[in-house]
Structure formats: structure tokens, C-alpha cells
Chains A and B, each alone.
Chain A
Amino acid sequence: MTLKDPTFPRLLDAGESGLVVEFGDGIDETANARVIALDRALAAAAIEGVREAVPTYRSLLILFDPLVVDRAALAGRVRALETAPGAEAAGTLWRVPVLYGGAHGVDLEAVASQHGLTPDELVALHAGALYRVYMIGFAPGFAYLGGLPERLHTSRRTDPRPKTPPRSVSIGGRQAAVSPPIEVPSGWHLLGQTPVRSYDPGREKPFLFAPGDTIRFTPIDAGAYRDMLAAAEAGEMVATPETMPVPSSAGGAHDA
């Protein structure tokens, strides 16, 4: 974890009120872990004038009020936070139920046959992996996941769909995703649907997943799906959170 590419982190401007701290130019867990560590350290530092931060795959966008905090001063604080030895705080492990295939995952059979798998084998592979939440973006609560088994890496569709079902569980390239309860356009392959509402502005906890969390998918049948969907629509989380057993000295950033 101490091996660092000397060209990173790079501090880049996003106007007079945005600072981008870039830890890499690709998708890899090390850069993402540094993004999340800085995000948590920044939240703990509570620097006056910092409005919010947006952690993504390999960079942290820091939005600030330039009338309150000077860009140079902020950059200095960020560099100090970044080089400080930070604890790799634990994320949450979520067990996310999925009804695979059929009308709930219209691409499952085609993807399976493309990889020479039976649908059951594909489900076992997809549900057998641990996924890292790299970032939430594109739409409210849309979770970008890494950790898709190589056997399931699949080029995106050549014809993206203008709408995909809410709560879709999908894969694209070497990534996986969980959709919020919103129809979003997507060129990814739809494997299933979860009753889990990753985003619900009326719920006490509007967002379930945060960058750095881990997700494991659990296959469920149509009856369980129906019951859990009703519970989710009544405001229950349905997904089961477990705290990963790692000491957390930088908690709090998760409660936003």
C-alpha cells in the first residue's frame, strides 16, 4: 500500500471553487482506496469553506467556497491529509438479494451462452464474488462495482437501451452495477433485479451504499422477491448490512 506512482496525486482545478485530487487514470482498487481514505480524512478535518466532496473511481472532487478558503491553503491541507498515515477504514458489507433471469434479467441467457455457461453457472459466478463499491454516480444511488469475475467480463451492448427497469443488476465491460429505483438509460447487460431500493429520499437512510462498501449478491425466488419488494416500498432496507471487522478510526464519513 505504500508504493505510490510519483506522478500522483495530481491537484487539478475545476473552476475557482473545485479542486480535483487525482490518484490515477485507470480503475484500480489501490487508487480508489486512496480516494476514499482522503475523503474520510477530509470529512474528519471539517475544513471551513469545504462544501462537499465527490469520491469517484480514482479522484476526489472537492467543492469549496473560494471566499472562505483560499485555493492554495486548501491544497496544502489536502496534501498534508493525503500523506498522513490513515487507517483503511472498514466499509459495510451488504447482502443484496437478486431475482435472476426471466423478465427481471432479460440478458442473462444471452450472456451465459456467450461465455459458454449455463444460466445457473452464470448466477453462481455472479453471486459468488465480492464486489467493491467504487463510486455512486450517474443517477441517484447508482452503484458502480468492481470485482466482476473475469469469466463474466462482457462488452457493452452495441445498442444502449434508453430505459432499463428500476433496481436492475447489470454488468458492462469488467464492471457491475446496481440501479436505483429509477429507469436509467444503459448499455449494460441486465442479469436480474433486486427488491432493494438503493435510493429512497423518504427513508430515514436515503442511500444504502457508499464508496468503499462491499456487496455480495444472494439469489432469491419470485415469492421472496415479491415480499421483499413490498417491504422495501414500505421503507425497509431489505438489504442486510454487516460491518466488516476492521477497526475504524475514521468513522463518521459514512453517515452523510
Chain B
Amino acid sequence: MTPDPQGAPHLAVTDGGLFSTLQDAGRFGYQRFGISGSGAMDPPAMRLANALVGNPPGTAIVEMTMTGLAFTVVADTCRIALAGAEMALTINGRPAEPLQAHDLARGDRVAIGRARTGMRACLAIAGGLDVAPVLGSISTHTRSGLGGLDGGPLRPGTVLPLRGGGAGPLLRQGRRHLAPAEGPLRVVLGPQADAFTPAGLATFLSATYTLSTRADRMGCQLEGPAIEHAAGFNIVSDGIANGSVQVPGHGRPIVLLADRQSTGGYPKIATVIGPDLGRLAQLRPGDTLSFTAIDAREAAEAARRAAAALEAAIAAMEPVVLGTAALSSERLLGLNLVSGVASAAHDPFCPHPPSHPS
């Protein structure tokens, strides 16, 4: 093999987007040492993106927030796919189908635009990235400068080294999509539900909250009615789970997420269940949400159902038939861009087409 004249195969990032980091399933076993778990904020989106390019679950992806990456392919070949928030994808300036894998060639320029809906998208690369894990994970925790390439977000000039991969048929999302979930976010009350008055608990479970602008990978501050504490708001610091809803002195809840601190000293009224964390990750500041309580047994059952639905969606992925569906959608989108009118009902970027059988 002749050595690559431009160095090892990589993606050359020309625009890092608003906030893009490398994430995988997270960093396990170190929360006892004050290390955040981190990991993808929308794990099903990560799983879908990885499945589309044939990666095992938990392969590190690029998680993008609100706006996506732009990069040039510096490799003979590279297969990519997007999932999660609907970010417009172009390859060499031409719109490309979301929710399907794309094979790229050396010199191809990829631009991932602004999210139309949702907040975070995952970019999976076949074979994954050639990045050394730190404490068992590639996930980036920017607050402590841990993981990723240098502990920080991707920026122009970042080099994403490729491991290489992408054999097998190009896949696209099949008819059995993950149905977009609706309704209140499900929580299990506790571990410190007894730190609140009955009125405080009732407020929490009946109020409509708004996601504030203070929302990031660490957690999201919610605006809305204050939740009444029973007696004070200091507890002896203890461990914090992903989805923990803590209520500081001001009474407004904060949902702690992937990059949360390992321990904290505010009472935690409830925990958002795992299957609903991906939905929360896709909310934007200004979006509203509410909570409903289920017990731990029901929550485990919900987790089982969510895992099964995800596996079914992956099993239903199908090979891309080049020259038909992809081309017609591309043409349709091109027309929409030219006319400046895009009908939502025929939006080829919609990742959740009507779930009713057509």
C-alpha cells in the first residue's frame, strides 16, 4: 500500500458547529471518583446512526447541538449517517437524504446545517474514530477537559482520524420508525421526595415547565411554579443519577443530565426515566414540558419496551436502492429550495413520516 500522501485517513473539520463533541455510551465506573458519566444525550439516536453505518452499539459519534459540522473527506472512502435532530445535510453542496448511510469519496465536502426541529443530532462514521479512550471512554466532558480529542468541542482545523470501515449494503431507515413520543416526561419519585410538602409534589406533577436558556449537557433549568420544600433545601451530598431532578432553594427544578456533577447537596424530588431522556435532550429553550409519576417497576417495563422498539426499528432498516427513492427525494428537495416553499407534509428531511401505514 502506498502511504496516504495527506497522512492517515481523516475528516478535516472546517466548521465545528455550535457545540459538537465526541460521545459514546459514557464513562462507567468512575463516578465514585467525581467523574461525570457523560455519553450521548440521545442514546437511541446514537444507536440508530451507528446501526445505519453498520457500527456496533456504543461506537463513538459526533454529537452536534443546534447546528452541525462541516468537513472534508481526506480518505479514499468513508461512510456516514445522521440521526436525532433534523439537521439539513449536503454533500458537495447538494442536499442528501437524512436517515440513511452515505458513501463519501476523497475530497467530498459535507455540511450539516441548522436543526429544523430537535436540538441534537448524531453523526456516525463507519468503523468509528481512531481516538484513544480516556478512563474507558471517548466521551468528551468539556468542563473537566476529559475525553474526545483534547477534552474540548470540535472546531475548524480539528482532525477526526478514521479507523475505516463500511462494508455491506448502504442502509436507510425502514418503514418501522421509532414513533415520536408524546405526553409528559415520566419520572420515578425520589430519592428525596420526602424533602417536599404534598403541595410541592403536586406542583411538580401538575405544572407546565419551560426549558430555560440554561440548558446544556450538564442539565437543564426549568422555569415555572416553585416547588415547596418540606424543611430546608440542603441535604448531605450524595450521588446523582442521569435524569435526577434536583430542586434548589429557588424551588424551580433542574434536570441533571449526562455531564452532571457526580454528587450534589440539593434534594432530588424525582428521576426522569432512561427511556425519556432522549426526548428531553431534543427540547429547545422555550419548549414546555410536564411530568408524570410512575413506579420503578413500570419504569423498568418502559425501558424494556423502548429497547425492543429500538431493536425493531434497526431490524427494519433496509438497503438503499440507488437511483430511485434517493434521487426523487433529492430532486423534490431541490425544487423546494428553489421555490423557497417547503411543505412540511412532504418534507424529505422529516425523520418521522406519518406513522400510520400509508
Complex alpha-carbon distance, A59 and B240, angstroms: 11
**B56 near A: Cβ within 8 Å?**
no
Contact A256 B29 (CB under 8 A): yes
Indicate whether A141 sits within 8 Å of B34 (C-beta atoms), given known contacts A17-B241, A51-B28.
yes
Contact A16 B144 (CB under 8 A): no
Contact A180 B241 (CB under 8 A): no
Complex alpha-carbon distance, A168 and B190, angstroms: 34
Contact A61 B238 (CB under 8 A): yes
**B244 near A: Cβ within 8 Å?**
yes
Give which listed residue, A67, A136, A140, contacts B307 with CB less than 8 A.
A67
Indicate whether A14 sits within 8 Å of B190 (C-beta atoms), given known contacts A70-B300, A201-B134.
yes
Complex alpha-carbon distance, A173 and B135, angstroms: 33
Q: Shortest Cβ distance from B204 into chain A, in angstroms?
A: 15
For residues 229 through 284 of chain B, which have their beta carbon under 8 Å from a beta carbon of chain A?
Answer: 235-244, 261-264, 268, 271-274
For residues 60 through 76 of chain A, which have their beta carbon under 8 Å from a beta carbon of chain B?
Answer: 60-61, 63, 66-67, 70-72
**B329 near A: Cβ within 8 Å?**
no
Output the residue of A25, A52, A58, A71 with the most chain B CB within 10 A.
Answer: A52
**B299 near A: Cβ within 8 Å?**
yes
Indicate whether A20 sits within 8 Å of B238 (C-beta atoms), given known contacts A12-B190, A13-B296.
yes
Indicate whether A52 sits within 8 Å of B29 (C-beta atoms), given known contacts A13-B190, A138-B261.
yes
Which residues of the partner chain B approach A58 to less than 8 Å between Cβ atoms?
A: 236, 238
**Interface of B, helix, strand, loop or mixed by DSSP:** mixed
**B81 near A: Cβ within 8 Å?**
no
Complex alpha-carbon distance, A60 and B238, angstroms: 8
Complex alpha-carbon distance, A63 and B191, angstroms: 13
**A94 near B: Cβ within 8 Å?**
no
For residues 171 through 222 of chain A, which have their beta carbon under 8 Å from a beta carbon of chain B?
Answer: 180, 182, 199, 201, 206-207, 210-211
- Residue of A with least CB distance to B134: A201
- Residue of A with least CB distance to B302: A16
**B32 near A: Cβ within 8 Å?**
yes
Complex alpha-carbon distance, A45 and B189, angstroms: 28
**A244 near B: Cβ within 8 Å?**
no
How does the 8 Å CB contact mask read for B158-198 relative to A, with 1 for contact and 0 for none? 00000000000000000000000000000111111000000
Contact B34 A136 (CB under 8 A): yes
**B304 near A: Cβ within 8 Å?**
yes
Q: Shortest Cβ distance from A145 into chain B, in angstroms?
A: 13
For residues 105 through 153 of chain B, which have their beta carbon under 8 Å from a beta carbon of chain A?
Answer: 134-135, 144, 146
Contact B262 A137 (CB under 8 A): yes
Contact B271 A18 (CB under 8 A): yes
Q: Shortest Cβ distance from B108 into chain A, in angstroms?
A: 35
**A47 near B: Cβ within 8 Å?**
no
Give which listed residue, A15, A22, A63, contacts B299 with CB less than 8 A.
A15
Give which listed residue, B34, B299, B304, B307, contacts A137 with CB less than 8 A.
B34
Contact A20 B191 (CB under 8 A): yes
Which residues of the partner chain B approach A87 to less than 8 Å between Cβ atoms?
A: none
Q: Shortest Cβ distance from A168 into chain B, in angstroms?
A: 15
Contact A137 B191 (CB under 8 A): no
- Residue of A with least CB distance to B243: A15
**A230 near B: Cβ within 8 Å?**
no
**A139 near B: Cβ within 8 Å?**
yes
Interface size on B, residues (CB 8 A): 45
Which residues of the partner chain A approach B261 to less than 8 Å between Cβ atoms?
A: 137-139
- Residue of B with least CB distance to A71: B296
Complex alpha-carbon distance, A211 and B192, angstroms: 23
Complex alpha-carbon distance, A234 and B222, angstroms: 44
Please name 25 pairs of A and B residues whose Cβ atoms are closer than 8 Å in the assembled complex, sorted by A: A12-B192, A14-B191, A15-B242, A15-B243, A15-B273, A16-B300, A17-B241, A18-B271, A22-B238, A52-B29, A56-B237, A59-B239, A61-B241, A67-B300, A67-B304, A71-B297, A72-B297, A137-B261, A137-B263, A138-B237, A138-B264, A141-B34, A201-B134, A210-B32, A256-B33
**A223 near B: Cβ within 8 Å?**
no
Contact B273 A207 (CB under 8 A): no
Contact A20 B33 (CB under 8 A): no
- Residue of B with least CB distance to A75: B296
- Residue of B with least CB distance to A142: B34
Give which listed residue, B34, B134, B307, contacts A139 with CB less than 8 A.
B34
Give which listed residue, A15, A51, A54, contacts B239 with CB less than 8 A.
A54
Contact A54 B28 (CB under 8 A): no
Contact B303 A135 (CB under 8 A): no
Contact A135 B268 (CB under 8 A): no
Contact A135 B237 (CB under 8 A): yes
Which residues of the partner chain B approach A39 to less than 8 Å between Cβ atoms?
A: 32
Which residues of the partner chain B approach A56 to less than 8 Å between Cβ atoms?
A: 236-239, 263
Which residues of the partner chain A approach B300 to less than 8 Å between Cβ atoms?
A: 16, 66-67, 70-71
Contact A14 B236 (CB under 8 A): no
Which residues of the partner chain B approach A16 to less than 8 Å between Cβ atoms?
A: 188, 273-274, 296, 299-300, 302-303
Q: Shortest Cβ distance from B247 into chain A, in angstroms?
A: 15
Indicate whether A52 sits within 8 Å of B304 (C-beta atoms), given known contacts A13-B190, A201-B134.
no
Contact A20 B239 (CB under 8 A): yes
**B218 near A: Cβ within 8 Å?**
no
Output the residue of A55, A60, A67 with the most chain B CB within 10 A.
Answer: A67
**B11 near A: Cβ within 8 Å?**
no
Which residues of the partner chain B approach A206 to less than 8 Å between Cβ atoms?
A: 33, 135
Which residues of the partner chain B approach A57 to less than 8 Å between Cβ atoms?
A: 236-238
Complex alpha-carbon distance, A54 and B241, angstroms: 10
Contact B271 A15 (CB under 8 A): yes
Q: Shortest Cβ distance from B221 into chain A, in angstroms?
A: 17
Complex alpha-carbon distance, A182 and B235, angstroms: 25
**B31 near A: Cβ within 8 Å?**
yes
Indicate whether A13 sits within 8 Å of B237 (C-beta atoms), given known contacts A18-B271, A54-B263, A71-B300.
no
